[in-house]
Amino acid sequence: MAEVRREGQSTTTSQHSTGPRLVKAVLLHWHGARSPTMAALKRLKPEVSDFEGERLYEEWREMGMESLTSIGTHQMVQLGKWLREDYFDVEHPSFIQAHDCVHWYSSSSERAIESGQAFWKGFGCDEEPQEPLPLSSHPSELPQFYFQAWRFNKEFRMAVQQVIYQPDFKKLARANEALLRRVWKTISESAAEKYDPVEMLFYLPYIDEYSQCEAYWPSGQQVVLSKFAPEEQMEIAELSQWVTERKLFIPGFGSLIGGKLLHHVTETLRGEGTNSAKLSVYSCHDYSIYGVLSALGLPHLPSLPTHVLGFGSSLLFECYETEQKSRRVRVRLLPLPFRDPRFQPEYDVTKPTILDGLIDISFVGILPVIVQTRQNPSSKKDEKMKTIPLDILVKLSERFDLNWMKTSQYKHTVKALKAGHQMDDGMQAGAMPRFTHFMTVPFLAVMVVVLLRVVYSRRKAS
């Protein structure tokens, strides 16, 4: 059951205060610390034999790749506790009462579901939810379409593969060539010989992923972290963040990788259908959060004092009702809920505490097309507020959800998933640009026409 009630609060509400009143909230949170992906291991150590004799690799293989760790579980418990005790109970003490229910949605991945279950343990519920609610009543609407939409858009994956050809990407690779070669050579001689500087930069996020997983590993075993000083780790993390943003904030693709999830969030905020809960929580992935931010119109992440997103990063949507009964939405990002031991080696990862560093997402200037359609444009005072009218957010997400349904991959994806086929994980696997994607039906059709014209012209000449 995923519809639960809060415990430990009085059923009486406080006196109505003047000013905007919080009426609904939605939290999207990245899962807790996990073991690395096999894709990352393959990039760092191209030969399987490279891992032989490494105790850490054996521990990961025994637990299972991409699995939530005990520290990740503890992080999620603390995240739930923080949201209840240090945020809602302090800033909005009358928002959720004992008789109010909450909703839970989740990615289908085991680590996301386990993270959500741990979150609710920390949040405190009369009944801890065991299974997330379905995102749609249609059987073909699978959770992957919402939380991992980038997997099902071939055009987007092709665009990701092309970022290395952009001038600024090559420029950054050349500027950091010495660092990149030193890093890759330290980790793997075979990888350093295999990749050129541009490829080294393109694949650098795998090193960052590996070291981040290692930093929070319960046993404390290290393979990568021990080879670099905290200052070098910071350089790797910042470059990796830049590459990740270039892959996930590609202009024109925000609606396709985050629009469907954003649409569900706005419907939840609007309270349509079964989305009547005051608080709804979505357990997801880092790229789910990136996708929603891209769909909102952000060209990149806001300036982060922490430089990187960490496990448990969260996106909080707050819907306020004004005295005029209109509703406005505030979006806040919690980029690094827990200290990163890569940069602070003295930090005890077994005792995670929340860093309350919420950042407001400003809507000024990022939604020009939608804002211009309003009958009553916002005043200058309203523009300075970090909120957006709910009706504008709904219109935006409805358009994006429609765009998703029109994608060329949608019907094919539904059939493939129903047949139990695995989708190509091109972006996560870091596949470099190939020329096979040019052999599409339109390309072949053009080639046939060209050949026919050549044959016709030769026959006519003879």
* CA–CA distance, 216 with 31 (Å, rounded to integer): 13
222: nearest Cα among 338, 345, 307, 49: 345
> Beta strand 21-30 with 4-5: parallel, antiparallel or unpaired?
unpaired
pLDDT at 351 over 60: yes
CB 216 within 8 A of CB 349: yes
Predicted pLDDT of residue 110 = 95
- What does the mean pLDDT of the chain come to? 78
Residue 28 CB contacts under 8 Å (≥ 6 apart), including other chains: 261, 265, 282, 284, 288, 289, 292, 314, 315, 316, 317
| Dist. CA 418–CA 408, nearest whole Å | 17
Mean pLDDT of 10-39: 77
Q: Are the C-beta atoms of residues 134 and 106 closer than 8 Å to each other?
A: no
Assess contact for 236 and 204: CB atoms under 8 A: yes
Taking CA atoms, 130 is separated from 83, 95, 162, 282, 422, in Å, by 20, 24, 42, 14, 26
Q: Is the pLDDT of residue 26 over 90?
A: yes
Looking up tokens 């469907």, which residue turns up?
Answer: 260
% of the chain beyond a pLDDT of 90: 33
Which of these ranges, 146-155, 157-166, 207-216, 355-364, has the smallest mean pLDDT?
355-364
Q: Which two tokens stand for residue 204?
A: 């650098």
Which one of 21-35, 213-227, 389-403 scores highest in mean pLDDT? 21-35
